[in-house]
Amino acid sequence: MKRSITLLDVLLVLVSFVTWVAGDVSYCQQKTPLEVRPHSVTITEFGAVGDGKTLNTKAFHNAIFYLQSFADKGGAQLFVPAGRWLTGGFVLISHLTLLLDKEAIILGSTDSDDWPIVDALPSYGRGRELPGGRHRSLIYGENLVDVIITGDNGTVDGQGSVWWNRFRNGTLNYTRPHLVELMNSSEVVISNLTFKNSPFWTIHPVYCSQVLVQNVTILAPLDSPNTDGIDPDSSNNVCIEDCYISTGDDLISIKSGWDEYGISYASPSSNITIRRLTGETGLGAGIAIGSEMSGGISNVHADSLRFFNSDHGIRIKTAPGRGGYIRKVYISDLTLTNVRIAIRFSGQFGEHPDEFYDLKALPRIEKISIKDVRGENISTAGLLEGLKDDNFINICLSNITLSVTKQPAWNCSYVQGYSNLVSPRTCDLLGGKIYPDHLSDCYRLSNHLRSMVGRKKEGSILPC
C-alpha cells in the first residue's frame, strides 16, 4: 500500500519545524525543511468514499493503524485526495503527516455519537461548558511527537451549526468538541489549510511544546458561539504566524487552566509568539489572554497585527479565584479598524468550575507593554479594570494613536503604569511618564524609546 510520490508531496519540503529557544522569539525562526516521509498511503486504499455522505471513520482508523508500523522507519504519510470525506473523530500517531489535497474536504459528522466522550482536562476539573467529560475533537492526538497536519490549502470543516444550535437551546449533554486538539505532544506543525465551522474552539494545543501554526485560515460565522481560532493552553514554545482568522469569538486565546484545578496542575503557558495575524471577530478579541490562566502565562510576544470590524483588539481576562499570573506580555505594530474597545483588561471576568475555588486566590498581572498602535473608528480606546487590593501593575503604553468616537476615551481602575505618546491622552492612573528608572518596569521597550528616554535631561517630562 505504498503510493508513489506526487507533486503534492513537494509541499512537505515547504513545511518547516522551528528552532526552539526559550525566552526569545528566535524559536519562530525556521531551520532545515523536512524531507518527504518514506511511507505513504491514500485514504481510498482503506475503503474511504469521498461523496460527502459515506461515513469514513473506520477508514481513517484503519489507515492510521496500518501506518503505525512505520513510525520507527522514518515516519509515514496519510494522503487525503480531492473529495468530501465525512468522518467522526479519529486519532493521530507520532511521526505522521496528514496531507490534504487542495480539493480535499474532511467533514465532521453531524451525529454526536461519532464524537467520542473523553475525560475532562485535569487543569479544568470538568468540561468547560458542563460538569463531567467532553466530546473529543475531530482530529485528536495524545503523547505524540513529530506530527504534521498540512496540505495544499485543503479544508477541515466541523459542520458546527448543529452544535451551536444545541448550545443555544441548552440541549448539550457534554462540552462541545474542538476541531483539532493535541495533548502532551511536541514538534507539532499545522500549516497551509483552512479550518471551518468548529463546534467549539478550533485548534487547541494543550500541555504541548514546540508547536508551529503557520499559514492557516480559520473561518466561522461571526455570531457562532465560542468558536475561538487558536487556543494555546498550558503550552510552551508556540509560534503562530501568517494566519487569517474570522470567527465568533477570540481569534487567539492563551490559557493555562481553570481556578483551583489550574493552580494545582501548575502547567503554565510560556514563550508564545504571534505575528502577521489578520482577522475579525464577532464577540471576542483579536488576542485574548485568559480568562482561564490559573497555571500562569508569561513571555508573550505579538506583532504585525491587523484587526477590523471586531468587538475588542487586545484583551486580558481574569477574576478572583483564578490565582496564577499574566506577566511579560509585549504587543506591538497593531492596526485596528472599526473596533469597539481597542484595549481592555477585565479583572472580574468569567464563571468558575464549581464552588470549591478560593476567592482569595488573586491573579498577578504585571509587565504588560503595548506600543505602536493605530486605530480608526474606535469607540473606546481603553477600558482597564484591575482588582481592588490587587492592582494590575507596570502597564506600559507607548506610541498609540486612536481615532475615538466616544468619551471618555479611557476608563481605568486599579491599574498602575506608565505611558508615552498616547492620543487621546490616557487615564491618570497610567499618567506616570517613562523615565530611565522605569524602563525595567516596562517589558521589552523598543530601542527607539530607550534612546529617546536616554536623550532626555534628568527630571524632564516626556511628551504624552
Please state, in angstroms and rounded to a whole number, the distance separating the CA atoms of residues 379 and 327. Answer: 27
Q: Which residues, including other chains, have CB under 8 Å from residue 316's CB and lie 6 or more apart?
A: 288, 289, 290, 326, 329, 344, 345, 346, 365, 368, 392
Cell of 155: 479544508
Q: What is the DSSP secondary-structure string of 257-278?
A: --HHHHHHH---EEEEEEEEEE
Q: What are the Cα distances from residue 163, in Å, to 171, 200, 254, 288, 398? A: 9, 8, 23, 23, 42
Report yes or no: 246 and 272 within 8 Å, Cβ to Cβ: no
The distance from CA 246 to its chain's CA centroid, rounded to whole angstroms, is 13
Report yes or no: 376 and 405 within 8 Å, Cβ to Cβ: no
Task: Residue 368: name the closest of 389, 353, 388, 382 by CA.
Answer: 382
Cell of 366: 504585571
Please state, in angstroms and rounded to a whole number, the distance separating the CA atoms of residues 230 and 214. Answer: 11
Amino acid at 70: F
> How far separated are the first and last CA of the chain, in Å rounded?
68
The catalytic position among 146, 231, 249, 311 is 249
358 is catalytic: no
Please state, in angstroms and rounded to a whole number, the distance separating the CA atoms of residues 95 and 191. Answer: 16
Q: What are the Cα distances from residue 43, in Å, to 98, 101, 109, 279, 372? A: 10, 12, 17, 33, 48
Report yes or no: 91 and 60 within 8 Å, Cβ to Cβ: no
Q: β-strand 154-157 against 104-108: which pairing, if any?
A: parallel
Report yes or no: 176 and 200 within 8 Å, Cβ to Cβ: yes
Half-sphere exposure of 312 (CA within 13 A, CB side): 24
Residue 210, Ramachandran bin (φ over 0: left; ψ between -120 and 50: alpha; else beta): left
DSSP state of 36: P
Q: Which residues, including other chains, have CB under 8 Å from residue 440's CB and lie 6 or more apart?
A: none
Active site residues: 249
